[in-house]
A and B are shown apart, each in its own frame.
Chain A
Amino acid sequence: MIFEYAPAPESRSVVSLRETYDLFVDGEFTPASSGEYLTSLNPADEEKLAQVAVAGEADVDRAVAAARRAQETVWGRMSGAERGKYLFRIARIIQERSRELAVLETLDNGKPIKETRDVDLPLVAAHFFYYAGWADKLAHAGFGPDPRPLGVAAQVIPWNFPLLMLAWKIAPALATGNTVVLKPAETTPLTALVFAEICQEADLPPGVVNILTGAGETGRALVEHPGTDKVAFTGSTEVGRRIARAVAGTDKRLTLELGGKGANIVYDDAAIDQAVEGVVTGIFFNQGHVCCAGSRLLVQESIAAEFLPRLRARIEKLRLGDPLDKNTDIGAINSAAQLERVRALTDTADEEGVERWSPACDLPERGYWFAPTVLTGVGQSHRVAREEIFGPVLSVLTFRTPEEAVAKANNTAYGLSAGVWTEKGSRMLWTAERLRAGVIWSNTFNKFDPTSPFGGYKESGYGREGGRHGLEAYLG
């Protein structure tokens, strides 16, 4: 029996977009000195959403100076309790405006409304709420009796979880008495600009939060600016290397949250239905635009023949289409450039003789779309097993023994996440102990929480975000 779904779109009316957005510096929206703008599109239909200013070096100077002034005259001197109250206030406004922000995020990013509404926004508010409570308790955090803020933090975030990554950066920085200059991603700047309005609404002192929009050049100018004390970056490993090199020899502190090629290990005793569900969530959540995605499925050889057909059957049920539809599971790829990268890397699978499968699935005519894809017969040396695709593409490998599973899972330059599926507790712990990755999800996947430290081993970066550990990056 086939159930047809009627369209169930979330209303766009909660969002009122301005035609152009300027930079948010020292508490005010001001045009970029270059007068340049870039256009932010809706990746689901390629419609123009708004124009946003492109910040240059002069604007970075101005923002860093404003942040320094605010840090030294207001924010750094304020009692932790008062700082915390500003953050609580921001958390509350985010909760109040969460539907608006969720719809706007879906429009700008292309991810399904059920994710922005049920995952991104609740986590954003929770993150501010969590760190708000730390602001007056830093002496108890284990970083000495009188931990001090570093000063001004330069923060650059990606497009996959625009507002959530903003929260991960700004909340701990502000709680610890630092001020920030943040650059949102080129393709997803809009929720950060609404966040700037929220800072105004919360009466946050001018200069404590500065938002500079733009593309790669803006980001480079910001992370290389000599006037900051801290650089925090989430994005590609390639850019992370460049930043680490730029920061070398300075007194700046650096945290990097970079790429991943997470392994999802399914043992022969796993609860199959749950594991299928977890593998699907692991790779298709947010169209696979997740640094910690479970992009390599390692399934024990003895159950592969049973597991893979059930996985395919589940994938056939995924609904791809209008991101604003409440029933949509898979939304749009974020940009034309990203779609091209996903296509190019997945095409190497064909060249290397890997078997490729996608469900029968109509792609919308406009916008950027990529059908969920499963690659089987993948070897460890294939590019699709080594390189981060950052799209809805799952590479399947098999193993015979637990030792082999661990060796294959760890056979990567990355080390961000991994999954383990088994009903046997001792085997789960044995495996988790040996996986060289910062987050291990056992019998679950892609779970996040403000209290739970997140970050990678090896070339997935350094430092942790979230929890008590997340404070360390912003305290001297």
Chain B
Amino acid sequence: MAERRESKKKGAAKGPARDGATTEARSAAPTAPARLAVKKTYKLYLGGAFPRSESGRSYPVTSADGTHLANASLASRKDARDSVALARKAFGGWSGRTAYNRGQILYRVAEVMEGRHGQFADQLVAARGLTRAEADRIVSAAVDRWVYYAGWTDKFAQVIGGSNPVSGPYYNHSAPEPTGVVVVFAPQTAPLLGLTSVLAPVIATGNTAVVVASEAAPLPAVDLAEVLATSDVPGGVVNLLTGGVGELGPHLAAHADVNALDLAGTGDLATGFEETAATTLTRVLRPGPEADGGEDAWLDTDPGTTRMTPFLETKTVWHPVGV
């Protein structure tokens, strides 16, 4: 904004004021701003890169009041398949990192996001018609959510797992492990805090994710992907698809290399996806009461382990004790 104001002054000094021109003056001669804003192309985020959809398709995204904001990539079935393959490829490395390291990286996400606070607030004002103050509160809560889960990475195993006092001379303990590749259907009406609230627990626990962003408000998700890309989150740990839940969902629900689904943003499609997932016994987290409640429904600052345990397996290891 500062730059644009400056150019206005220059224009005023040299000749007729462009921005301050009367309606008649505009209709008389087409005008352009002194500096044309550079608009962002919103792309997918796959394997750490930002490609367009392989289909070459895009769809218009509008603000809460119907103004055109941008064209988002309209991801295809092949993009969905590619994203699962990339998430699978990243799983061994991400789940194999130390819990401490995953915590450091998630905290870094919060740091980088905090630096882009204004950008995210602008997006929410546009996408959801929030006031600036409301938007600021949601962005702050989203940043804090990353901090929250950064702290969980090296604690949930102790909270959930433990040693089992079996009746015999055996060492026996149970520990949680990530289930694998999780498809996250982000909440439709909570494109930033809702998305953060469902994605952060999935990757905090060592899973890798394929995210299907809010269909109507995908832009905050793409901005978040840029934060992830610059926060040492390895490529492929989070893969972002923008597009139709109805188009992408059936393929992801049926995909044999997907281990779990978070159906938060699937609305009426949830039951069909759950039925499809049954074929490969893919774990399913059904949409809860908060799924359609807008960003405010996700303000609980202490969701506990409720969004982590659905994406964890318990492994129990036995070994005899003896000399």
Residues of A that sit less than 8 Å from B by CB: 126, 142, 237, 240-242, 244-245, 248-249, 256, 258, 413, 428, 432, 437-444, 447, 449, 451-455, 457-459, 461-462, 464, 467-469, 472
Residue A428 contacts which of B166, B174, B275, B319 (CB distance < 8 angstroms)?
A: B319
Residues on A with C-beta less than 8 A from B164 are 449, 451-453, 467
| A-B CB contact pairs (8 Å), 20 listed | A126-B167, A142-B160, A237-B281, A241-B278, A244-B278, A244-B281, A248-B275, A249-B270, A249-B274, A256-B281, A444-B318, A444-B319, A444-B320, A447-B166, A449-B164, A452-B172, A452-B318, A462-B281, A464-B314, A467-B174
For residue A465, give the distance in angstroms from its CB to the closest CB of chain B. 11
Nearest 9 CB-CB pairings of A with B: A249-B271, A244-B278, A248-B274, A449-B166, A245-B278, A248-B275, A451-B164, A440-B317, A452-B164
Distance (Å) between the CB of A379 and the closest chain B CB?
A: 21
Q: How far is the CB of B321 from chain A (nearest CB, A)?
A: 10
Q: How many residues of B contact A (CB 8 A)?
A: 33
Q: With a CB–CB cut-off of 8 A, which chain B residues contact A472? A: 309
Q: Which of B174, B179, B275 has the most CB of A within 10 A?
A: B174
CA distance A472 to B274 in the complex (A): 21
Residues of A within 8 A of B16 (CB): none
Q: How far is the CB of B282 from chain A (nearest CB, A)?
A: 9
Residues of B within 8 A of A452 (CB): 164, 166, 172, 174, 316, 318
Select one of A249, A428, A461, A469 contacting B314, CB under 8 A.
A469
Point out which of B165, B166, B283 has the most chain A C-beta atoms below 10 A from its C-beta: B166
From known contacts A451-B165, A464-B314, infer whether A240 and B281 are also in contact, taking CB-CB under 8 Å. Answer: yes
CB nearest neighbor in B for A415 = B313
Q: Do B275 and A245 touch across chains, with their CB atoms under 8 A apart?
A: yes
B259: chain A residues within 8 A (beta carbon): 458
B100 on the A face (CB < 8 A): no
**Interface residue from A439, A443, A467 paired with B319 (Cβ < 8 Å):** A443
A466, chain B: closest CB distance, angstroms: 8
Chain A residues, Cβ within 8 Å of B166: 447, 449, 451-452
- Is B168 part of the binding interface, using a Cβ–Cβ cutoff of 8 Å? yes
- Asked whether B279 is an interface residue with its Cβ less than 8 Å from the other chain, the reply is yes
Nearest chain B residue, comparing its CB with the CB of A130: B167
Q: B256 to nearest A CB, angstroms? A: 8
Bound together, the chains give a CA A245 to CA B277 distance in angstroms of 8
Whole-angstrom CA separation of A240 from B281 in the bound complex: 8
Centre residue among A126, A237, A242, A245 by max chain B CB count within 10 A? A245
Q: Within the assembled complex, what's the spacing in Å between the Cα atoms of A440 and B316? A: 6
With contacts A249-B274, A449-B167, A449-B172 taken as known, whether A437 is within 8 angstroms of B281 at the C-beta atoms is no
Docked complex: B93-126 residues within 8 A CB-CB of A? none
In the complex, what residue of chain A is closest to B310 when comparing beta carbons?
A462
* Cβ-closest chain A residue relative to B176: A469
B33 at interface (Cβ–Cβ under 8 A)?
no
| Contact assessment for B174 and A453 in the assembled complex, using a CB-CB cutoff below 8 Å | yes
**CB-CB contacts of B167-198 with A at 8 A, as 1s and 0s?**
11010101000010000000000000000000
* Residues of chain A lying within 8 A (CB to CB) of residue B174: 452-453, 467, 469
